[in-house]
Amino acid sequence: MNDSIGTSQETSADAELADLQQRLARLQQNLARIVIGQERVLRQMMITILCGGHALLEGVPGTAKTLAVRALAMSLSCDAKRIQFTPDLMPSDIIGTNVFNLATNEFNLHKGPVFTDLLLADEINRAPAKTQSALLEAMSEAHSTIDGVRHRLSEVFTVFATQNPIEFEGTYPLPEAQQDRFLLKIDVDYPDEASEMAVLEAFDRGAPPDRLAPGSVEEVMDVAGLRTARSMLSRVRIDETVRRYVLTLVRATRGYDSILVGAGPRGSINLLVASKAQALLEGRDYVIPDDVVAMVAPVLGHRMTLAADAEISGATTGEVLQSILDGVDVPR
């Protein structure tokens, strides 16, 4: 009797996992249809939201970062807001403030744009440190404090922040503590020639390259479905040898000659979780070493500081991480 109940529960769990994987595949196809030529970026954005983390998107203007966030929000039936960060932006512009109402003779709370599901923080490094700290609290604690009172944020609150990698004048570089709060740093490159031609053809047919008409995006999942997807991430199995591989890679960043500061324990946790999400998107309920390798750069790259002599010699974070990967035995 107990064996039959256990088998039934396993069958139900397998069916739920298969249904989720089908939905995620549809979501990938949905996003790729709208944002052309950025499949890797879209996948990493999906990993971010599956893991319940936040992502820093770095790329030059015009590479569809804003469009990708909007398409993701519409595909998930989520509320989405955008903040354009500027040097004069105040914390209250992000989290909100209490405004005195003369008619009622009391203060009314006017919530800021952080009270949403998906938040696009555009050019985050243009805001001063105090404003960045207000967003850091929201990212790390899932609440914002207004006049000493804590207010809970959306249970699926996710920040996608952008920054321009080549423009430094008038910017405030993100401190290491805030960079560490981002699950992934996603490098957004130019699309290839064929993809860019497809964008031009779509524009020539009358499709705006940076706007989405209502109803133009299929709703693949809702907020409740996203919560379920996040909970099912724990069902993705990881063998002890692969878990040890994760730890070895992260610890290798701390004693490497070309690295001044390596990734901390949060890096280990995030690499493990991101590898599970990568496996899920590949249609598996178990992690293989290739999943870990795929997530090493986006998870660990922004958590490392290269040594001065390495930077002078022209070494990049990606090259150093590849050297570490080459030097660590892959589990079989």
DSSP H helix total and E strand total for the chain: 13, 11
- What is the secondary structure of 4-16 as a DSSP string? HHHHHHHHHHHHH
Q: What is the pLDDT of residue 208?
A: 63
Residues 257, 186 within the same domain:
no
Q: How far apart are CA 159 and CA 139, in angstroms?
A: 7
Q: What is the pLDDT of residue 105?
A: 82
Parent domain of 261: 237-332
pLDDT band (50, 70, 90) for residue 100: confident
- CB neighbours of 52 closer than 8 A, spacing ≥ 6? 156, 158, 230
Q: What is the pLDDT of residue 113?
A: 94
Query: Which three-class secondary structure state does DSSP give residue 153?
Result: coil
Residues 295, 217 within the same domain:
no
Q: Which of 203, 235, 267 is the last residue of a domain?
A: 235
pLDDT digits (tens, 9 = 90+) for 42-72: 999 999 999 999 999 998 888 888 888 889 9
The DSSP code for 105 is T
Residues 221, 277 within the same domain:
no
- CB neighbours of 326 closer than 8 A, spacing ≥ 6? none
- CB neighbours of 327 closer than 8 A, spacing ≥ 6? 252
In a domain, 60, yes or no: yes
Q: Which of 235, 251, 281 is the last residue of a domain?
A: 235
Number of domains in the chain: 2
Look up the pTM and report it.
Answer: 0.89
Q: What is the pLDDT of residue 266?
A: 94
In a domain, 3, yes or no: no
Q: Give whichever of 132-136, 207-211, 271-275 has the largest mean pLDDT.
A: 271-275
In a domain, 1, yes or no: no
pLDDT band (50, 70, 90) for residue 214: low
In a domain, 5, yes or no: no
Q: Which of 235, 265, 289 is the last residue of a domain?
A: 235
Residues 263, 217 within the same domain:
no
Q: What is the pLDDT of residue 67?
A: 86
CATH number for the domain harbouring residue 185: 3.40.50.300
CATH number for the domain harbouring residue 324: 1.10.8.80
In a domain, 129, yes or no: yes
User: What backbone torsions phi and psi does residue 228 show, to the nearest 5 degrees?
Assistant: -65, -45
Q: What is the pLDDT of residue 117?
A: 94
295 or 62, which is more confident: 295
Residues 28, 79 within the same domain:
yes
Q: How far is CA 17 from CA 115, 228, 292, in A?
A: 30, 10, 21
pLDDT digits (tens, 9 = 90+) for 180-204: 899 999 999 888 899 889 888 888 8
User: What is the average pLDDT score of the chain?
Assistant: 88
pLDDT band (50, 70, 90) for residue 82: very high
Q: How far apart are CA 105 and CA 21, in angstroms?
A: 53
What is the end-to-end Cα distance of the chain in Å, rounded?
38
Q: What is the pLDDT of residue 249?
A: 96
Residues 54, 135 within the same domain:
yes
Residues 176, 197 within the same domain:
yes
Residues 230, 315 within the same domain:
no
75 or 2, which is more confident: 75
pLDDT digits (tens, 9 = 90+) for 266-294: 999 999 999 999 999 998 999 999 999 99
In a domain, 206, yes or no: yes
| Percent of the chain surpassing pLDDT 70 | 92
Residue 67 token pair? 């469009």
